[in-house]
Structure 1
Amino acid sequence: MSLRRFALLAICVALAACSKVNQKNYSQLKAGMPKAEVEQLLGSPTECSGAAGFSSCTWGDQKTFISVQYAGDKVLMFSGKGLK
């Protein structure tokens, strides 16, 4: 394996290990938590949508994700999949 490929692989592994989409962070989510506190914990969401005072934001991808639903700027519900 060339040095360049090894370095690229090492960077990818390091980035995956640093993901904020994990069981530890998921367990810190609480109903009523402000949106700003969730984003401080998980970082910027991958995508958000909403209407009429309700919104839903997701962090991660289709295999590993955390999804948070808000009423106003407070956590209403949350779920996760594939967390380690």
Structure 2
Amino acid sequence: MSRRFALLSLCLLLAACSDPLNQENYSKLKPGMTRPEVEQLLGKPTECSGAFGFSSCTWGDQRTFISVQYGGDKVLLFSGQGLR
């Protein structure tokens, strides 16, 4: 029984660590980072939109998200909500 509990705990821990939408990754975002650097940290965005050399990409959903605004391919601003 304790072996099953240990295995279940390990699986839950690994699942939590694999979610890139967390406070630790958010704190690694910096103005001036390139789009590939951000995607290496957070993965592919859920959605992106933009025009005239500016764009905004979001990872997550309405409750838990990180949003990054780019000028060209460089981070200008970013925000997050519901991060652990």
Q: Return the TM-score normalized by structure 2.
A: 0.81
* 1:50-81 superposed Cα distances (whole Å, 9 cap, x missing partner): 00000000001110000000000000000000
Partner of 1:43: 43
Partner of 2:81: 81
**Letter in structure 2 aligned against 1:52:** F
Partner of 1:57: 57
Q: Return the TM-score normalized by structure 1.
A: 0.81
For structure 2, list consecutive stretches of 5 or more residues without a partner in the other structure. Answer: 1-10
Count of equivalent residues: 73
Separation of aligned partners in 1, 2:42 and 2:14:
14
Q: How big is the shift at 1:31?
A: 0.3
Q: What RMSD in Å do the two structures reach over aligned CA positions? A: 1.5
Separation of aligned partners in 2, 1:15 and 1:57:
26
For structure 1, list consecutive stretches of 5 or more residues without a partner in the other structure. Answer: 1-10
Partner of 2:8: none
Which 4+ residue blocks in structure 1 deviate beyond 3 angstroms? 13-16
The structure with the largest helix share of the pair is 2
Separation of aligned partners in 2, 1:16 and 1:53:
36
